[in-house]
Amino acid sequence: MIEIKRVPIRKSYFVFLLAVLALTIFGLFMIYDASSYIAFRDFGDKYHYIKDQTYWVLIGFIALSVFSFFDYHKYYNLALPILLSAIFLLFMVFIPGLGVEALGAKRWINLGFFVLQPGEFIKLALTIYLAAWFSTREKGRFFAFLLLIGLVILLIMLQPDMGTAAVILGVAVVLYFLSGGSVFHILGLIPIIGLGGLGLILLEPYRAERLSTFLNPHQNLETTSYHLRQILIALGSGGLFGVGLGNSLQKYAYLPEATTDSIFAIAAEEVGFVGVTIVILIMLFIIYRGFYIAFRAKDNFGRLLAGGIASYLAIQIIVNLGAQTALLPLTGVPLPFISYGGSALTVNLISVGILINISRQSHHV
């Protein structure tokens, strides 16, 4: 049973929620704008993607409301069952007839009435578990920590989904650091992570091509560099104030993944540098509030949980925007609250609900 604790909504909650709502509504508009052509081409219905995402927005905000009243202390005892459930879902993607394969990846589960992406849920489940575990400050946890993270990343890489694996690894390291973990342990991990990541990239030709494209964007303009070049064309076309809402040219099937990983490029083309700067500032405000809530939390578990949630939202934003501005190699990480995808949006909105609950119980914000 979910225990409801009624606490008056304060002004700071309203501003925080308003920022999340603004990003989500902007995301809905951009999804419709970026998808109308391909939706009509592929499904004969230009509203296909926006109808689907609107459904998940409603589900997500209902979940946000419920979790904002659910006492976050309950997660401490639920942490292990939540983690095991999420790991079980990761295994389910490999079950024939249940797992869904698309573009050579098995990242989804078809539950009949909707399709679920377990990789999104493991981010929050692992954050809750590590926050509960690390809040005890027990000794000798480093190698057990490595084994757990190694198992989760292995299951993610088997799908394969290197972007999600990178986000999970980043969040895990941040939580280990925030819990007072040894800096020497973290420094020792850097070369291991670097060499391991390079090895995984070189093992798969498409990842090696992405790295090569990142290092030399002007090679093979019609093949390996095509995606990046179209992103840069969209960014350059937007200029300072954009070409105007609805006037993107890249959305007409020129730019791959225009509704998901590359939706920022469409936004930049239409609203320009000024418009996307405002969007980024709203995102920074949400991340700031997350870390502020963590700083003000009244117990170690609350601090780590809020810090972990703020971290994985921040890391996803950094990875997505870094890839879209050619500062990082292209990878499949959605932009929180904006990209198309029900699982990611629902998890992000649940996370916001948890942050609000932690904030309510701190009596400081």
pLDDT tens profile 34-64 = 998 888 888 888 999 999 999 999 999 999 9
Q: Is the pLDDT of residue 142 over 50?
A: yes
Instruction: Grade residue 285 by pLDDT with cuts at 50, 70 and 90.
Output: very high
Residue partners of 187: CB distance under 8 A and separation at least 6: none
Residue partners of 49: CB distance under 8 A and separation at least 6: 31, 32, 35, 39, 259, 340
The helix/strand/coil state of 101 is strand
Rounded distance, CA 294 to CA 309, Å?
A: 9
Q: Is the pLDDT of residue 4 over 70?
A: no
Instruction: Grade residue 205 by pLDDT with cuts at 50, 70 and 90.
Output: low
Q: What is the pLDDT of residues 156-184, one digit of tens each?
A: 988 878 888 889 999 999 998 888 877 77
Q: Is the pLDDT of residue 338 over 70?
A: yes
Rounded distance, CA 321 to CA 318, Å?
A: 5
**Residue range 146-156: mean pLDDT, rounded:** 90
pLDDT at 255: 81
User: The whole model's pTM is what?
Assistant: 0.89
Q: Is the pLDDT of residue 7 over 60?
A: no
What mean pLDDT value characterizes the chain? 85
**For 289, what's the count of Cα atoms within 13 Å in the CB-facing half-sphere?**
26
